[in-house]
Each structure stands twice: as C-alpha cells, then as structure tokens.
Homo-oligomer: A and B are copies of this chain.
Amino acid sequence: MDVTKIKNPRFLKNMSTKQLIELSADIRKFLIEKLSKTGGHIGPNLGVVELTIALHKVFDSPKDKLIWDVGHQSYVHKILTGRASEFDTLRQYKGLSGFPKRSESEHDVWETGHSSTSLSAAMGMAIARDLKGTDEYIVPIIGDGALTGGMALEALNHIGHEKKDIIVVLNDNEMSIAPNVGALHNVLGRLRTAGKYQWVKDELELLLKRIPAVGGKLAATAERIKDSLKYLLVSGVFFEELGFTYFGPVDGHNFDDLLENLHYAKKTKGPVLLHVITKKGKGYRPAENDKVGTWHGTGPYKIETGDFLKPVDAAPSWSELVSETVRKLARTDKRIVAITPAMPVGSKLEGFASEFPERMFDVGIAEQHATTLAAGLASQGMKPFLAIYSTFLQRAYDQVVHDVCRQNLNVFFAIDRAGLVGADGETHQGVFDIAFLRHIPNLVIMMPKDENEGQHMVFTAIQYDDGPIALRFPRGNGLGVKLDEELKKIPIGTWEVLREGRDLAILTFGTMISMALEAAEKLAKENISVKVVNARFIKPMDEAMLHDLLESNIPILTIEEAVLQGGFGSAVLEFAHDHGYHQTVINRMGIPDRFIEHGSVKELLNEIGLTTAHIIDRVKTMIPRKQKRA
C-alpha cells in the first residue's frame, strides 16, 4: 500500500496477519528509500516495524498512551499516524522531527531524546489515569540499552511497588547503540536462551523426575538442582522480583506471537513486562549485518550497496582527534583510563579500545555512574578520560559537583558535541554545559580554536594534576589544519590574541572564531579595527588580558555558541563589574532563552543570529562614535 495515504492507525484493526506482513514490507521499503536520502535512525526503526504495527493494532492511540523511550525509533509510529508524506523533510529545518514531538501529532504523547525516561513518564500517566478514573492503557516501549540507565531502574522499582497497570514493552535487540554491556544484559541474554516462559513447567517436571530420592550425593545434587532450577526460573525472575508479570521472550517480527502476547498483557492486572526480541536493521542487509552500531543513525546512503554518500572528510572528526590523541598519550602514561557511557563509536574510541582493552570501560547508558567511576579512579591516582556528549553530561550534573569537583579530583571530561548538533534537534543541543559547569568550583573549562590547539589541550588536560578539567569540542570535523608533531601544554587560563584591533574587542572561542575573524576582516575594509581574542579558557579566564582590555575601555563583544544566561559573556560582565570597570560597553551574542529545534547548524545559527553578518551589524551598533568620525 501507499503508506503516504495513511491518516491514522485505525485501518489496522481489520487487517489480517497476511496484510500486516505486506504492510511491514511496504513500510520497510519506504523507510529504506526515504532515509537513503535524508539519513536518520535507520537501524532502530527497521527493527520495530512489526512491533509498532502490532501496538497500534492492539491499542487505541492516542487514548492509549504509547511512550517511545529515546524516541529515535518512532518513525514507523509516525508513518502509521499520518506523517509519511513529510518524510522528505525528516530531521531538516522546520521539517519532521526525528523524535516524538507533541506539536506534530496527538499520537506523540511524550517527547524523548535522552534515554530511560519512558518508565517514569508512564508511571506519572498511570497515576493520573487512576486518580481521574479513566481506563486507558499506558505502554512504554523501552530498549534493553535504555534499561541500564539509573532512572529506568528507579522507575521499575516504583512501578513494581505501586502495582500500577502499565504494560512495559522491552524491545530487546541485544545491542543499544553499541553492543550492550552490563550484568543486566547478561540477565536478558539468559532469558533469551532459556526459551519461552511457558516451557518452564514442562522442563521442571522432567527435571524433578531425574532427582534421586535418596543418596549420599544429595548435597551435590541439590546444588545442581539449584543451578538448573535457577536457570529455568530465571525467566522473568528479575522482573517478577520487582513485582512485574513477565511475558516472553516473544519474536518481535512474528505478528501472531506479538498480538497474542499483547492481548495477554492487556488482560493482566498490575504491571506487565513484555519481553520482545527484535533485530536492529531487520530487512536491510547492510544494517542487519552491522555489529558495531554504524547503522544506528546514518547520513544518506546508496541503497544497493549500503555505501554512505557523505564525501570523504578532509579533516578528522573532533571525536577522533581527541580520542586518538589520548590513545597516543596512553602509550606512555599508564594512568590513563577511558570511560564511555555507551558511545564507543560516536566518541571514536575503537582504536583506544583495541590497543588498551583493559583500560577501556563502556559502562552502558549510565552517565551518573560513569562520572563517579571516573572520580573513584582519580582518587587512586589514575587519570580518567571521560568521553561524554555535552547533552548527556547533563545527567551527571550532581556527580560532577558532588563527587568530582567537590573532591577536586583529576578527571578529564572530554565534552563532545558541544554547541548546536543540528539534525538531532532540541533534546541533543549541547548548549547548556558552560552555564551548568561554570559555577562549579575547581573546574577548568576550555575549548580549542582548531584541532591543532585541540590536541595540545588534550595534552594539557592529561598533564594537569590540580583538579578536574573539561575540554569541550563540537560535533563534526575539524578545520583541516596541520597538526604539530610535538604536543605542548597550554598555560591554564591564557587567551590568545588572533588579530589586533583598536576600536572593539571580540572575545570568543571554538566554532565562533572563524566568523569573528571573517567579520573583523570585512569591518577592516570599513575602517573599523576589531581585535579578536581566542578566549580558549572559559574558566579560569585570562585575567591579565581582561584587565588590559577593560582599562583600554574599548567596547567588548562576547560571542558563544551556547546559552547566554550564565554563560561566558556573563562571566566577562561579572569580571568587569567585580573589578570596578563600570563604564565599558559590553555586548553578548549567543543562544537565546528558548529550546532550539532541529535543522542544519548553519540554518540554526542564522535563525539565532549568530552569523558573520550579524556580528558585523552588532559591532557597528557598538561603536557609533567611530562611525560618525569615519
């Protein structure tokens, strides 16, 4: 069928299994074609085609609440709820979001992006339902990877205790973004191999018949029984211990099994955990064969071959630069240990992992643990390198404050995807980290102007032994500059004048430097002389340079690809007024006080007003006297 004709999921109610299978094929074809042009989270979505169809057939969305944990696997849901025709705009500026979005559809009842939130949301909705006396089903769909996030476990604990009617669908594809880690994963693995729960009784019977009624070897036998029984009973024991009724494991690509079990789940009182096994990338060979997570989220690709269409990058990615520099240093510095919360591929840690497997720890989706783990390592003289995305570091704010900075431990935070991230949109923009880190005592925060400075900052961070230090760097690739052979330390708290100027000083860092230099260049042609400073240390700032600047009393413009409230520009304002410079004209450019949606970084910067043209305009408003003189 033409999936772009779908208006809502009601048509599924009367479909036969055969028709559902055909629909699945049509949806897969549609997804593979559309995403080959736009890119997107192809692997996760191909894995949940049957599951999503089955959920919409059995439940009545939007009355019943389908809550997609993480949310990047909601494309099939979007197709079934009438949004297929918008897929050409997927993840593009003003286009369809790659995540559930309440403003897009009444069927998107909960917005996600960060993982492990669905169970808490479901519990809130269930409590609301029961207080209001309505009767909708609440159905969070959570991946095996997301289940290791602490807040998901907090929620399971609460749901089990309160015995609310919630149907948790565990979408277990054996890997989240990277192959899964953690003991909990092993539990799920055993559930899988233990076979269907219904078999337990039969096997138990067989087993009991094999028990010798008497005998001297009873102890040993009992031990074996215990293990065998445990092996059987483990089917669901973990979840049943927490108060859930466990169904599964169910083949997530078999409609009969799915529908039957969903009907069971509907009839069951209290919390249910339905364990569904799916295959990520199902139905598209290159994605199915992916073992490391390359096909989790992609750019455009050639359907026939699975080749990515992205042009070969001249410059290495920032993640690669940082992780590979750390790897190099790890050869002589035995203190270095790498930690990633489930992002070994995104953080380009494969090289480090293969060279130093015993010094590489992927802790799964567990940012809090990752951070305090790093603190624990640092407390024993190690040098933990915590590779973490800016947006995910949000989840470890308290651990950064309470465990790392308060104890002033030598943790090296490598904050990846700092600044706007583009297509992933508002849940993933790395724009808050300066504002939520700058006020924490003891923490050094820096951002390089290019990858050469970046590698020196990695070296600086590793050499720095006076407390925690954070290196933030953007998503994507470096500028392609030449890398020095020899790594060197950059003195903490020193800035760098990139261009001299008499009329105004721009203080900026990282991604905004190129625009600032371009603006200065253009303004020079209008006889406006702008100084450009690489304010590479956001904390501590270069106080000597600030005093010089403020004493000269030329206007200062701060520019940052980060939120304005409490950001770098505010730090400059604070410094000026704290030191009695009450006359200086200081302007700040940055990200305003609202959430920034998806789109290309370029489009978003334009919308926000962070372009060379905007900088030029702002500079001109700041030096009216100069203009008059000209």
Contacts and interface: CB of A to CB of B under 8 A. Distances in A.
Interface of A: 102, 109-111, 113-114, 117, 119-125, 127-129, 131-132, 148-162, 181-187, 200-201, 204-205, 208-209, 211, 213, 218-219, 222-223, 225-226, 229-230, 233-234, 237-238, 240-243, 334, 337, 358-359, 361, 363-364, 366, 368-369, 371-382, 384, 394-395, 397-399, 401-403, 406-407, 426-427, 432, 435-436, 438-442, 563-567, 569-571, 573-574, 577-578, 582-588, 593-595
Given A131-B334, A394-B397, A439 B441 contact: no
Contacts of A574: 564-565, 569-570, 573, 588
B436 A439 contact: yes
Given A158-B183, A399-B151, A588-B574, A127 B364 contact: no
Contacts of A152: 150
A579 to B, nearest CB: 11
B154 A121 contact: no
Of listed A158, A182, A361, A401, residue having the most chain B CB within 10 A: A158
Contact of A363 (B154, B368, B394, B395): B154
A157 B131 contact: no
Contacts of A128: 337, 376-377, 379-382
A15 B126 CA distance: 56
A566 B439 contact: yes
A226 B222 contact: no
Nearest to A117: B372
Nearest to A225: B204
Contacts of A426: 406
Of listed A131, A209, A222, A426, residue having the most chain B CB within 10 A: A131
A90 to B, nearest CB: 20
Contact of A110 (B233, B238, B376): B376
Contacts of A200: 226
A604 to B, nearest CB: 15
Q: Which 7 A-B pairs have the closest CB atoms?
A: A124-B376, A150-B150, A566-B566, A160-B183, A128-B380, A120-B372, A154-B369
A129 to B, nearest CB: 7
Contacts of A153: 150, 153-154
A472 to B, nearest CB: 16
A351 to B, nearest CB: 19
Contacts of A186: 160-161, 243
A397 B396 CA distance: 8
B379 A131 contact: no
Contacts of A213: 209
A150 to B, nearest CB: 2
18 contacts: A111-B406, A117-B402, A121-B403, A122-B376, A123-B376, A124-B376, A125-B380, A150-B153, A160-B186, A161-B183, A183-B241, A201-B223, A204-B225, A230-B233, A394-B402, A566-B566, A573-B577, A577-B587
Given A376-B123, A402-B427, A582-B584, A436 B397 contact: yes
A148 B436 CA distance: 26
A117 B186 CA distance: 23
A124 B187 contact: no
A384 B181 contact: no
B229 A566 contact: no
A381 B397 CA distance: 29
